[in-house]
Chain A
């Protein structure tokens, strides 16, 4: 049973436009959400996070939105750049300040087109 779902395996976006990556979760106990970015042959790197007490967190070109009632979050990248081409993983955990395992989605491969 997948607790974190990324239903789009891939996404193609024109350079300069907005990239929107979506993620849904099923476990209402999740209260901390993260996005990771992964290039080929490298480990994932942390990008941005949001706790359930917020509905938006922004860091430069990256913004994460959380809709708790819909159990949905999204990552917006604007403007999209060629270096953003990578696989993006959505992840969730059960507690922000306790040690807990982090559950990952299957990832969305983002292609930024020149």
Chain B
């Protein structure tokens, strides 16, 4: 079956520009997570959506970062006025309800020049 998909797979942008990263979770998965992995670092939690509850935004590094999840399915992570330190792989994961296993997408590799 279809897994978690992310687009674009790679994004190169100039400092100061806005970028949007998309995540299509597995159908029926109510929980959706965004992480990022900077070079040499682990997976840094960014934001978590669960059903219709208010998202857990505690991991967002600054107010330049925001995310939406429309209709309980597709999610978009937006980074405004990108900085070079935003360069990382941005990973999306989804899971079904109370099941603890997260299924990850392949990630979007963002490079800010």
Contact of B31 with A by CB under 8 A: yes
Please provide the chain B residues from 39 to 82 with a CB less than 8 Å away from any CB of chain A in the complex: 40-45, 48, 50, 56, 58-59
Complex: A66 Cα to B106 Cα, angstroms: 29
Contact of B25 with A by CB under 8 A: no
Complex: A41 Cα to B42 Cα, angstroms: 15
* In contact, A104 and B50 (Cβ under 8 angstroms): no
Q: What is the chain B residue whose CB lies nearest that of A103?
A: B45
Complex: A103 Cα to B56 Cα, angstroms: 13
A-binding residues in B (CB < 8 A)? 4, 31, 33, 35, 40-45, 48, 50, 56, 58-59, 91, 93, 98, 100-107
The 8 closest A-B pairs by CB, nearest first: A43-B104, A106-B42, A104-B43, A46-B101, A99-B50, A44-B104, A104-B42, A101-B48
B-binding residues in A (CB < 8 A)? 4, 6, 32, 34, 36, 41-46, 49, 89, 91, 93, 96-99, 101-107
Can you offer 25 A-B residue contacts whose CB atoms are under 8 A?
A4-B42, A6-B42, A41-B106, A41-B107, A42-B106, A43-B4, A43-B93, A46-B101, A46-B102, A46-B103, A49-B100, A89-B42, A96-B100, A98-B98, A101-B45, A101-B56, A101-B59, A102-B33, A102-B102, A103-B45, A104-B35, A104-B44, A104-B45, A106-B40, A107-B42
